[in-house]
Each structure stands twice: as structure tokens, then as C-alpha cells.
């Protein structure tokens, strides 16, 4: 059986900070990232891909605002916006990947799944929304929207009179179509799933599926999927080539090989920034806890170069690190 790798595309894999966000820019970035996955396919890996959606779903929410205020178009709720972004980004990745595969004479099927993720509607996150979404408002605008729509706003670091809506970010518990993802991937179909962390849903008292007005951390949901389908390796592609100790300080140190225990120690000591590396580290640890063999964090365009990337294993052994740790 081929090895199975789950790859979370993030950072500059799709959109770079200094770009406007045009589809041409996103397609170019996506193609460059996907070129770095070809060596895994040629090495016999089956692949599941995931992706972020922060800028894209933010734009969808702004279109919501413009349509409602200018044309009286009913706005769509956050779960529909996340689903919208999953379909659009997944289609873009799928189309670019088909072109990359054709270029390398690789015959593979590719499919995008709009993916829901189960959360607990009693998760403490619902009492403390922290995830910023949508556009920046003035305090006056934010107060009016808070009264009209019952939205919650928090100050944004982008200005003195800058406020953004915040929504809960609950823990992912289960991927709704995880068996479908696993079946497709094990059959050699490159599967794009859990985009943007998935669409958060929960079961009500009658057992019906309900949408949660929330967003899920993409890397945590992707790590959960990787563990549930018993992937061998979990990759987090970001905008730096390694995990660092004392990041951006004179004594900065590359942490290329880490075991589970040392990674937890660094995390608990506050070594990794909460707004940057810490969530990715937690996702990797979750994958290892779920039985995964190896998690890798590296730059989106450095994946093929074996000299790049930080590797986290339960007990690092350069000989046996690829062996799966059974649950």
C-alpha cells in the first residue's frame, strides 16, 4: 500500500501578503506550490490536500455587505460563505493541478470535496469569539452592526478607529466525510478536502445537522483528518522553511529535528508565537497524538528540497522515523 500524506497549503502557497489577490496571482502561486508536490506523487505517495481561505472568505463577506447595502440582496451566513470559498479555491487548485500533472505526464484523478466538520455547540469558544473575519469598520459602524445583527466586534491593530467582527473558533471533533476522503485517496485519487478548516456544523437535540456561525482552524482540522484516515505523514506548508527557536533574534536557531516531548516543552514555554507558529505546532502534535508517524513544517516552495523543513516525530530516529506509530 502506498504511503498517504495529508498536505495543508497555507501562507504564501495561494496568496502572498504583498499581492492584490487577483485570480491570476493566485493561480500562479498555486501552480508553483503544486510543482513541489510532484516528487511525492512520483515517489508513490497518495495525497490529500487542504487549503486556507482567510483572504478569500473575507472578500466573500465584503461582497455580502456590498450586495445588502447597495442592492438589497439578502446576505448569506458564514457557513455558506465558507462553503463558497471551499468550492472556488478547490476548483482552482484542481484545475492548476491537472495542468501540472499533464506537464509531467502523470495520470491521476483529482476531486474536490466540500467538507463539513463536526464541532460541539457547547465549546467554550462560542462564549469567547476571537477569530477576526470580514472588513474593517469604524467604531460607529461596528456599534450599529452589533445592534442590528448581534455581531461581536473587537479592536483591530490596523488603526486607531479600526474594528472587526470576531466569531468563535471551536475545536474540530470529526470530519463528516472522512471515510469518503480515505477511500478516494487510497484508490489514488488526489483529494482536496477540509478547505478553510471545513464548514463547522453540529447535531441538535433531534440529531439534525445545524450550521455553526464560526470558523475552524485549518491546520487543526487538517491534522484531525490526517490522523482519522491514518495518514503516514502530515505536511504544513507556510512562509518559513523551518521551525525556529528565538525566532528573529540574534541567537535564532533552526529546529530541524524534534520529538514530541521537546516540541511540547518549547510550546509550553512560549517559544512559538500564538499568531504564527504555535497553531501549526499544535496541529502537528495533534497528528502525532492521533497515531501519525511524522509531521513536517516547511516553506511552500521548499518541499521538494530534503535539506529544508522541520520534522516532528514521537521519538525521533533518523532510521525509523517513517514507521507509523500505532494507536
Q: Which three cell numbers stand for residue 69?
A: 447595502
Distance CA 34, CA 38 (A): 7
Name the residue among 241, 232, 238, 225 with its Cα closest to residue 295.
232
Among candidate residues 12, 29, 53, 177, the one labeled active-site is 12
What single-letter DSSP state applies at residue 197? G
Residue with cell 474594528: 163
Query: Would you give the DSSP letter of residue 15?
Result: -
**Residue whose C-alpha is closest to residue 235's, from 11, 1, 31:** 11
Torsion of CA 48, 278, 324, 321, to 10 degrees: 110
Question: Rounded CA gap, 13 and 56, in Å?
Answer: 13
Of the candidates 64, 90, 131, 290, the residue annotated as catalytic is 131
Q: Nearest 5°: phi and psi at 164?
A: -130, 150
Strand partners, 262: none
12 is annotated as an active-site residue: yes
Q: How long a stretch of residues is the chain?
A: 327
User: Is-catalytic flag, 218?
Assistant: yes
Q: How does DSSP classify residue 3?
A: -
On the CB side of 217, CA atoms within 13 Å amount to: 24
Buried residues in 176-186 as b, exposed as e (16+ CB within 10 A): bbbeebbebbe
Which residues in 295-326 are b (16+ Cβ under 10 Å) and which e?
A: bbbbbbbbbeeeebbbbbbbebeeeebeeeee
Catalytic residue among 10, 11, 134, 198: 11
At 276, list the grid cell: 504564527
Q: Out of 54, 88, 280, 309, pick the active-site residue.
A: 280
Catalytic residue chosen out of the listed positions 218, 290, 292, 309 = 218
Residues with active-site annotation: 11-12, 131, 218, 280
Amino acid at each position: 500500500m502506498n504511503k498517504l500524506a495529508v498536505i495543508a497549503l497555507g501562507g504564501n502557497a495561494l496568496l502572498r501578503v504583498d499581492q492584490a489577490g487577483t485570480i491570476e496571482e493566485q493561480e500562479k502561486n498555486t501552480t508553483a506550490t503544486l510543482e513541489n508536490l510532484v516528487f511525492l506523487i512520483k515517489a508513490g505517495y497518495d495525497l490529500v490536500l487542504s487549503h486556507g481561505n482567510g483572504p478569500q472568505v473575507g472578500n466573500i463577506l465584503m461582497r455580502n455587505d456590498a450586495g445588502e447595502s447597495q442592492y438589497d440582496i439578502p446576505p448569506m451566513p458564514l457557513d455558506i460563505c465558507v462553503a463558497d470559498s471551499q468550492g472556488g479555491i478547490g476548483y482552482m487548485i484542481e484545475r492548476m493541478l491537472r495542468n501540472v500533472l499533464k506537464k509531467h505526464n502523470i495520470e491521476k484523478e483529482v476531486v474536490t470535496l466540500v467538507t463539513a466538520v463536526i464541532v460541539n455547540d457547547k465549546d467554550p469558544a462560542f462564549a469567547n469569539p476571537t477569530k477576526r473575519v470580514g472588513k474593517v469598520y469604524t467604531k460607529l459602524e461596528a456599534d450599529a452592526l452589533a445592534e442590528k445583527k448581534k455581531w461581536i466586534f473587537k479592536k483591530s491593530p490596523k488603526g486607531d478607529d479600526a474594528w472587526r467582527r470576531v466569531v468563535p473558533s471551536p475545536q474540530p471533533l470529526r470530519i463528516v466525510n472522512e471515510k469518503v476522503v480515505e477511500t478516494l485517496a487510497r484508490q489514488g485519487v488526489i483529494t482536496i478536502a477540509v478547505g478553510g478548516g471545513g464548514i463547522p456544523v453540529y447535531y441538535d437535540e433531534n440529531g439534525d445537522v445545524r450550521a455553526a456561525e464560526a470558523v475552524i482552524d485549518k491546520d487543526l482540522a487538517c491534522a484531525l483528518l490526517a490522523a482519522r484516515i491514518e495518514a503516514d505523514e502530515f505536511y504544513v506548508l507556510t512562509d518559513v522553511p523551518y521551525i525556529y527557536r528565538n525566532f528573529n533574534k540574534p541567537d535564532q536557531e533552526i529546529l530541524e529535528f524534534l520529538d514530541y516531548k521537546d516540541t511540547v516543552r518549547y510550546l509550553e514555554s512560549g517559544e512559538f508565537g500564538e499568531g504564527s507558529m504555535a497553531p501549526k505546532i499544535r496541529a502537528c502534535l495533534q497528528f502525532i497524538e492521533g497515531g501519525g508517524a511524522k509531521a513536517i513544517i516547511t516553506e511552500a516552495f521548499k518541499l521538494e528540497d530534503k535539506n529544508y523543513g522541520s520534522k516532528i516525530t514521537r521519538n525521533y530516529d533518523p532510521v525509523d522515523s517513517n514507521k507509523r506509530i500505532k494507536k
